[in-house]
Structure 1
């Protein structure tokens, strides 16, 4: 009988009671609440400060633009045509006349063609002293003018980029030899009044003809170039 009571006492000590089961269920409830999304709540004062910061940045940006804008307006950007050098071809030609031994051409094209350089080259590299002028055409293309009294076939091929003769074109009452590379580059060549003039570039033929006519007018207004025997063209 004593053993029976001992067993019952042991069973009562080890048997879970209904009150002890409650703590085991609490972690599950805590876990389900942890899985729920947490919505941050910004205090009204913090939200007000954030809005004030954004507004302040916008006001600072507007003030910066307002301060910088007058500087931009007072210093406009250059136009797309870029810098236009003022080259007085006639004046440079007169200065080069003593060195050249003849009066270089200074075609009068009005304001249609714009010269971007005019110079006398001594010809130390190829032995052919020459007068050079570069023209920007009304259609913003380019024609280079070269004049010399010492032209030779080799030099002429170099100036025309070995282009073959493809015909002739009348300009200013004179027949100019037309040479075309077939790649856009072309040349018009004229031997007249003791000198050789070469016009070369990628411009259209009507622009070549306009400049060539002005060249003829300049040649006819200048004294005829006299070529000395020692300066005669050589092949």
Structure 2
């Protein structure tokens, strides 16, 4: 499985850090949080280098502008600013320092997610899409099942191969790539089809039900794909190369 894209959130407000760790984590990212520029510098010094940094501009001690200036002197790490200031001057300064984008507080986490994806696409660090993973082929094991990614089928302990539809195949790939992480319906829809869920969109629930019927021993009491009410779904099976 490919490593998850790593996002660092640097903000002195604990509520914002907690919100983004949870929200971005549910949408398929590894997230590290730092309460200050000093904490983030220490994280980098330990070799924990993210794929993108979300920086608050107004922080006690070293502010986000200074931290961005430092990052630009030593790396090409993509940066998105969070700012409580709506004035054009501050945004212009941030962009002149090399920031890739900015968002004014208060912000909608979904908008930040969209901006993160856009920046990662531009910088070549976009999360691996399901179709690309499938194109690589190969086998993956989970429980007593063998998933043939080339043939799009799952074989159980009885040796019977069960073919998957394109939608089921994409969904299983996403679950295996993010095993152990709770993914929201919105995240699953985006990762499998590249679009966001609309109100009352139950297509993911239907796809999960169909996939459970093909990989669970008892679809009504699933042990591989667990439901986390209010949060989404999580693949809890042990995953290993086939």
TM-score normalised to the size of structure 2? Answer: 0.22
Higher relative CO (Cα under 8 Å, sequence separation at least 6) belongs to: 2
Structure with higher Rg: it is 1
The alignment's TM-score, normalised by the length of structure 1, stands at: 0.23
